[in-house]
Amino acid sequence: MSNGGTIQMRLRSTVAAFVAALSVAMTGVAVLGAPGPFVGSADAATAIRFGRIQYDSPGTDNRSNKSLNAEYVVVRNIGTTSVNLRGWTVRDAQRHVYTFGTFTLKHGTSVTLHTGRGTNTASHRYWGSGAYIWNNTGDTATLRSGSGATQDTCRWTKAGSGATNC
């Protein structure tokens, strides 16, 4: 085999190894059914994603707790296992940050994070803010794991219906 053929084979092998590693890192599943242990942390294999974001509270923005709580973010677990969200964060582009305390999001469920105050439950969490978090004219929501790895982002660039499905 010529030198050119050797380089092509190395390149193919490198690309194949990269694709396999990326697949494992993103899904926890090896490609081509190759056996092996799960590689990476729970962060890399989770399926925690944004759902709907209601960035413009319906009605007049009067900063009442009712109005603040009508601004919210839905976080979904689309995976097959429950995930402890302790230390996970939701943040906007201006670095307003909500940090989950001890909280497990069961597989196939969601939790709604409201901007205002309230009593936390299994399906509703409260930021505790006295001001609106999400910009109606455009913003970026970022979901990070406890280790700081970005798990999902959702962006809108103009005022629209007041909500977006991520």
pLDDT for 33 beyond 60: no
User: What does the pLDDT read at residue 73?
Assistant: 99
Same domain membership, residue 13 and residue 71: no
* Boundaries of domain holding 27: 3-33
Same domain membership, residue 138 and residue 161: yes
148's CB contacts (< 8 A; 6+ apart) are none
Same domain membership, residue 95 and residue 23: no
Contacts 24+ apart (CB under 8 A), 101-105: 105/48, 105/75, 105/77
Same domain membership, residue 112 and residue 64: yes
Whether 38 is in a domain gets the answer no
User: What does the pLDDT read at residue 158?
Assistant: 83
pLDDT for 24 beyond 50: no
Same domain membership, residue 28 and residue 69: no
pTM for this one? 0.73
Same domain membership, residue 132 and residue 92: yes
Same domain membership, residue 50 and residue 16: no
Same domain membership, residue 99 and residue 26: no
CATH code of the domain in which 69 resides: 2.60.40.1260
Same domain membership, residue 132 and residue 59: yes
pLDDT for 139 beyond 60: yes
Same domain membership, residue 7 and residue 47: no
CA angle 130, 136, 141 (to 5 degrees): 80
Same domain membership, residue 47 and residue 24: no
pLDDT band at 160 (very low <50, low <70, confident <90, very high): confident
**What is the rounded distance in angstroms from the CA atom of residue 134 to the CA atom of residue 94?**
9
User: What does the pLDDT read at residue 45?
Assistant: 56
> Are the C-beta atoms of 115 and 68 separated by less than 8 Å?
yes
Whether 116 is in a domain gets the answer yes
Contacts 24+ apart (CB under 8 A), 158-164: 159/56, 162/54, 162/55, 162/56, 162/57, 162/58, 162/136, 163/52, 163/53, 163/54, 163/55, 163/56, 164/52, 164/53, 164/55
Q: What rounded mean pLDDT belongs to the chain?
A: 80
